């Protein structure tokens, strides 16, 4: 812990900080990036707040709950330097999600849960947010997940470097455009990967579509 300067934020401080952006935490599609996510203390609370909204609005119809909860998970991103912390973060988020899913519905879908696991594998990355490289020395890449037609989802990939870069043709008044802070009229940086739209239950097979 000392070697890597790990500091785990207490629950009270986490909630106090999230209260400062309460409205965003309650927008299901609002994207959050934690560049030093540790074991997920912030991300799990963000997920909890998003799922509270999903429960309140969509719990009566399982399909609607599942698609909105999918969107909630897909909007949460993290980067963590230590592999064991990154793995624990994914596990904690999945286990928490599973408990919320089972609390709402007696019959759950293994295909759906496989998609949720896949989202977390792609969105919680083991790497260094300072060097913008993964643990294997490759560029950190984030995936944007968008419902494009009914239950179909399209994935587009962007390097973290490009998302953090401020290009004159993409900015207004010096504002930086990123996947995580983008107004409707602004454009994303150039994508490094685009995948065919597939049913949200089939995203775990994305690699086979390339």
SS3 content of the chain, % helix, strand, coil (to 5): 45, 20, 35
Segment 42-73, tens digit of pLDDT: 999 999 999 999 999 999 999 999 999 999 99
Span of 9-13, 67-71, 94-98 with lowest mean pLDDT: 9-13
| Share above pLDDT 70 across residues of the chain, in percent, rounded to a whole number | 81
C-alpha pair distances (Å), 54 with each of 23, 28, 64, 151 = 14, 7, 9, 17
Q: Mean pLDDT over residues 121-146, rounded?
A: 96
Alpha-carbon distance of 90 to 126, in angstroms, equals 11
Which band of pLDDT confidence, cut at 50, 70 and 90, is reported for residue 196? very high
What is the pLDDT at residue 97? 98
């Amino acid at each position: 812990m000392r070697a890597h300067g790990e500091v785990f934020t207490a629950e009270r401080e986490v909630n106090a900080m999230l209260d400062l952006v309460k409205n965003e935490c309650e927008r299901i599609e609002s994207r959050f990036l934690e560049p030093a996510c540790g074991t997920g203390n912030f991300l799990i609370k963000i997920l909890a707040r998003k799922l509270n909204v999903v429960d309140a609005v969509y719990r009566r119809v399982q399909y609607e709950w599942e698609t909105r909860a999918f969107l909630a998970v897909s909007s949460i991103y993290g980067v963590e330097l230590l592999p064991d912390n990154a793995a624990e973060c994914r596990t904690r988020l999945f286990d928490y999600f599973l408990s919320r899913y089972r609390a709402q519905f007696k019959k759950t879908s293994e295909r759906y849960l496989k998609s949720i696991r896949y989202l977390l594998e792609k969105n919680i990355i083991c790497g260094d947010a300072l060097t913008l490289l993964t643990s294997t020395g490759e560029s950190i890449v984030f995936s944007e997940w968008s419902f494009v037609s009914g239950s179909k989802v399209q994935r587009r990939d962007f390097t973290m470097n490009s998302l953090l870069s401020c290009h004159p043709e993409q900015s207004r008044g010096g504002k930086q455009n990123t996947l995580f802070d983008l107004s409707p009229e602004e454009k994303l940086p150039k994508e490094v990967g685009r995948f065919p739209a597939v049913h949200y239950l089939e995203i775990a097979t994305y690699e086979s579509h390339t």
